[in-house]
Amino acid sequence: MRIVIAGGHGQIALRLERLLAARGDEVAGIVRRAEQNDDLRAAGAEPVLCDLESATVEGVAAHLQGADAAVFAAGAGPGSGSARKETVDKGAAILFAKAAERAGVRRHVVVSSMGADAAHQGDDVFDAYLRAKGEADEYVRSRTGLDWTILRPGSLIDDAGTGLVRLEASTGRGMIPRDDVAAVLAELVDTPATTGLTLELISGSTPISVAVKSVAGN
């Protein structure tokens, strides 16, 4: 498969790129800065320079041409303010979905956040983040031209992955290593039977491949 990842230099994206490249997929990662290119190449991915905050739908669609799947893993990051939650976590996610439709790339996997809700109340930056992610998720779910799956991980940690997770429509709060999030994403990309599902993810007791097959109905 050829898979294009938005937010290609993110902590989860770099892990995902290594996994996909190791299994023989062709991977491209969209990045904002040329100095990030070497890190992507080291992960086995082709860097694609494109700023999703200023790009056009047509411009991003050109980068998606010929892809078998698209993964949105971009984020404004913990140090950013409410304005960039709107332009990245919401705006870039919607732009990327539109571009995928324009390019005819149906398989579309989104890294969202547990608690994402377009109607979330509050004035803090994290409140703005949850609203932005929720609004982006709502947009993606409305697109009939996409075979979408939305993944909402719990609290992200840098511990080594265990390969054991809980993956359900509703899991309750919990932590999850970024290694395991990336491994779940790699399985989801390759499991179109999860289309139309919004899934929460925390650490658990089920092997990842089994957990994905279970939610896919296999």
Other beta carbons less than 10 A from residue 44's beta carbon: 17
Q: Select from 1, 67, 11 the least CA-distant residue to 43.
A: 11
139 is catalytic: no
Residue of 129, 149, 178, 191 marked catalytic: 129
Contact 85, 125 (CB under 8 A): yes
Q: How far is CA 60 from the centre of its chain?
A: 16
As annotated, the active-site residues are 129
